[in-house]
A and B are shown apart, each in its own frame.
Chain A
């Protein structure tokens, strides 16, 4: 079909020496930041946005793709060797992975994680290549009312479902929407929230906002709470697996992929739920139940595969609809905007070569990661001994440099500091940062769709419900909002039944 030839063209673009070089840089950088404490793929892409402005968009996105997948690899390495998972998606990997490492099976744990990630990432990317165009075909037939509804759904889903406190999620979202309002209103040319400050007229640069929240806020927050007692990293040689490890790993890999991709593709799926589900499933299906809790290889293989498949899944709504559902995807979407590329269903037609080169580079990046990571694991572990002063001073240095170089205005640095302080405060008081970033990015687009919708209906609010898809989406939105209430009723009626996911129960507790 069409997908095949487009993908081949994508490979042709991605395999040029220059782009291949960017892919290699991306995966190396991604793995490094995944391993390094306090740095993550979202922060790294944000820090690179200004530097990559001079590059071809295709090359930049090929590098970002490498960073995105590389971060996952690096994250699993630290959670296995250190037992301090940096990201919520690798918490589950650490349960069995660290036990395996302590029992002297670090090499096998790393191997099953790396190979599982490769397989899940490859299958996930293939699914992305197949499904994204289908979603696009469906999406181009939608009008403004449906878009408006879908974007509302994405915002609310991320705000209400992820994180432990819905109220704090909404507070963060509202702040993000307010930041998104700053600047000239595109329809009427009115100045909003500029307070007579001419430098605010163009709005707050999304690059500056992303760098402030992800880099400055994080660096200050970590600096305030540096871990005082040093940890031990478990020494490891070159990862490898025996025959028995292979036969115990391949089924969990495939099952993990099956859990990960759909959840990643959902507006609020994320990687936590599928990794957890995969762990529970493997624990139930294993022939070695006695090993669980002591270092069972299935408990590493499944969740790691789920994690990476979810990462691929997340790119489906991002590329097909312009809806990011995790931090890295959000920053990548911001990158599209800063290149002047309009994200959304039209992306596949307007930027076809770029999108397919990006997808092809995901396949390539995955392969490179396997190639690079298996022999280099001991080297990555060494990175953990990097002195912190250089690490966090470096983040601040490059954050400043990046934010300044966008417009060469010291004023942007003031904004950077103010929003960095905001990011610090949000981390201190448990306000999740993802809803804020989504609010900044999606807010203006939601407003645009709302105004388009009501323009078509001449101001009649009924216009919002003029498409069947919109109505379906609103029902889902209502269900998400009412979920804690329903949840409570179910619990009251059947007090004996335990909640399926302990991670979600916090949401219900905080909401009242």
Chain B
């Protein structure tokens, strides 16, 4: 069990190196695709820096892969409210991300008041609160307050969506 777990953990960090490599290649291909006539006023051109960046990314990807395979390990970030003794709690994170995605999908159509309510209520729920009604009321109040606050205070009209005309 533990050897499998450590093996998986090692492999997970290789994902970082993979990401760096992929981004590096993307940056390289993108820069390579730029067509620029040489100009006296701009000898460096728009390609040079992307090439350097992609080089740095790929070098980091390779070195990181070597480092990880040789047993190197990134130190996970601690904090006041962080307990690294137990593994990542996906049962909290995934529903949180779900509430977030729901908000992204709904915001333009249903409007901020509805999508924001879902976002806050869903997040509070995902984080373990079980006072459904009180949380719901807080969510609605918060979305309404921010909607009017942004409109009246900052002059930013958040989308009203389905509630257009009511708000």
Say if the two chains contact directly (CB < 8 Å): yes
Residues of B within 8 A of A222 (CB): 79, 81-82
Is B97 positioned at the interface, with any CB of A under 8 Å from its CB? yes
Complexed CA–CA distance, A96 and B74 (Å)? 29
Residues of B within 8 A of A389 (CB): 123-125, 127-129, 135
Complexed CA–CA distance, A178 and B83 (Å)? 32
- B50 near A192 with CB under 8 A, answer yes
Contact among A165, A227, A443 for B74, CB-based, below 8 A: A165
Contact among B36, B92, B153 for A224, CB-based, below 8 A: B92
Is B148 positioned at the interface, with any CB of A under 8 Å from its CB? no
Residues of A within 8 A of B129 (CB): 387, 389-390
Query: Smallest CB–CB gap between A446 and chain B, Å?
Result: 8
Per-position binary interface string of chain A over residues 446-469, scored 1 when its CB falls under 8 Å from any chain B CB and 0 otherwise: 010011001100110000000000
Complexed CA–CA distance, A190 and B64 (Å)? 32
Residues of B within 8 A of A84 (CB): 80
Contact among A181, A227, A228, A455 for B27, CB-based, below 8 A: A181
Is B107 positioned at the interface, with any CB of A under 8 Å from its CB? yes
- Secondary structure of the A side of the interface? helix
Knowing A167-B64, A220-B96, A458-B43, say if A428 contacts B88 (CB, 8 Å): yes
Residues of A within 8 A of B67 (CB): 167, 510
Contact among A164, A168, A223 for B89, CB-based, below 8 A: A223
Is A292 positioned at the interface, with any CB of B under 8 Å from its CB? no
- A413 near B103 with CB under 8 A, answer yes
Complexed CA–CA distance, A7 and B7 (Å)? 60
Give the residues from 365 to 423 in chain A that come closer than 8 angstroms, CB to CB, to chain B: 387-390, 392-394, 396-397, 400-401, 404-405, 408, 410, 413-414, 417, 421
Of all chain B residues, the one with the shortest Cβ separation from A79 is B80
- A187 near B83 with CB under 8 A, answer no
Per-position binary interface string of chain A over residues 87-100, scored 1 when its CB falls under 8 Å from any chain B CB and 0 otherwise: 00000000000000
Residues of B within 8 A of A443 (CB): 49, 53
Residues of B within 8 A of A459 (CB): 43-44
Complexed CA–CA distance, A387 and B127 (Å)? 10
B16, B61, B126 interface centre (most CB from chain A within 10 Å): B16
Per-position binary interface string of chain A over residues 161-189, scored 1 when its CB falls under 8 Å from any chain B CB and 0 otherwise: 00011011011011101100100010110
Q: Categorize the interface residue count of chain B.
A: 35 or more
Query: Smallest CB–CB gap between A396 and chain B, Å?
Result: 5
Contact among B20, B31, B142 for A174, CB-based, below 8 A: B20
Give the residues from 1 to 23 in chain B that come closer than 8 angstroms, CB to CB, to chain A: 12-13, 16, 19-20, 23
- B16 near A178 with CB under 8 A, answer no
- B103 near A400 with CB under 8 A, answer yes
Give the residues from 27 to 45 in chain A that come closer than 8 angstroms, CB to CB, to chain B: 37-38
Is A54 positioned at the interface, with any CB of B under 8 Å from its CB? yes
Question: What are 18 pairs between A and B in contact, CB < 8 Å?
Answer: A37-B81, A54-B156, A84-B80, A171-B60, A175-B20, A177-B53, A178-B53, A185-B46, A223-B92, A389-B125, A396-B99, A400-B100, A401-B150, A425-B16, A429-B76, A430-B73, A431-B74, A451-B44
A residues whose Cβ falls under 8 Å from a Cβ of B: 37-38, 51, 53-54, 78, 82, 84-86, 164-165, 167-168, 170-171, 173-175, 177-178, 181, 185, 187-188, 190, 192-193, 195, 216, 219-229, 387-390, 392-394, 396-397, 400-401, 404-405, 408, 410, 413-414, 417, 421, 424-425, 427-431, 443, 447, 450-451, 454-455, 458-459, 510
B residues whose Cβ falls under 8 Å from a Cβ of A: 12-13, 16, 19-20, 23-24, 26-27, 30-31, 34, 36, 39-46, 48-50, 53-54, 56-57, 60-61, 63-64, 67, 72-77, 79-84, 86, 88-90, 92-93, 96-97, 99-101, 103-105, 107-108, 112, 116, 119-120, 123-129, 135, 138, 142, 146, 150, 153-156, 158-159
